Amino acid sequence: MKKILLPCLPDGMPQEFLPFAADAPIYDSSSSPEANVYFIDKGHGYYLKRSGKGMLEKESKMTGYFHAKALGPEALQYITAEQDWLLTAAADGEDCLHERYLADPRRLCDTLALELRRLHETDFTGCPVQERTAEYLAFAEKNYRAGTYDSSHFPDSFGYSSAQEAYDVLTTGKAALQSRVLLHGDYCLPNVILKNWALSGFIDVGCGGVGDRHIDLFWGVWSLEFNLKTDRYRARFLDAYGRDKVDEALLKVIAAAEVFG
């Protein structure tokens, strides 16, 4: 995870965070245009995320839920004003893009698959987002209606030649998205923290909730291919997860939803 030292505190940072940030090096660790992420190098470390108003409320709740399940770092404070701010403790370990893990891709693949299966077998009683699949599909529908078709982040558009072809696959197959498990929602290598190959926790769980397992399976397969620059681990990942719970046809349905952002 990249870190760029900042010369001063982030603009507009609420005073409530000054006790954590005072006299500490602060680094920009952002990786997407949707949010700014800052690493505060103090004590065991903190991450401070900034995004648009209301954008981090769900992440705050899901981070707290994952922490209560011993599956992620603690959410320390959420503030919403003109913008949203979320302070979390840093997870102990390194994300799966660390050279130590990339150097052994087969073990990394198997570890990611097994930890995902364990996550999906976690009791989701009390999860603050109980209908993640419905939200996910509604978002894809909204973006289709708005003419959003993402061919930049996914250059091959997952094999779909047009927005209409993807939408037809989504419309035909979405009713089969029925499983209810605890989802990460953005299951990719940077969001899984390991310590000596053991799971330390999951981060960036704002898209999590109770929903269909194939959302996470799709992102696990995609992230392995994207980050390892090869598709040779796709079958291994699904085998290690357990083919008894995998329907590859549904991965194509998820791909159809993803081209709509």
Q: Helix or strand or coil: residue 39? A: strand
In whole angstroms, give the CA distance from residue 231 to residue 142: 31
Question: Does 110 qualify as catalytic in the annotation?
Answer: no
Catalytic residue among 84, 186, 212, 216: 186
User: Would strands 36-40 and 46-52 be described as parallel, antiparallel, or unpaired?
Assistant: antiparallel
Q: Are 171 and 69 in contact (CB under 8 A)?
A: no
- DSSP assigned state of 8: S
Single-letter amino acid code for the residue at 144 = Y
Q: Are 214 and 247 in contact (CB under 8 A)?
A: yes
Single-letter amino acid code for the residue at 243 = R
Q: Helix or strand or coil: residue 87? A: strand
Angle at 96 between CA 219 and CA 36, to 5 degrees: 75
User: How crowded is residue 160: how many other Cβ atoms within 10 Å of its Cβ?
Assistant: 22
Instruction: Calculate the alpha carbon distances from 82 to 48, 50, 53, 149 in Å.
Output: 16, 11, 6, 30
Torsion sign across C-alpha atoms 36, 208, 90, 196: negative
| φ, ψ (nearest 5 deg) of residue 16 | -60, -20
Instruction: For tokens 């913008």, name the residue.
Output: 83
Residues marked as catalytic: 186
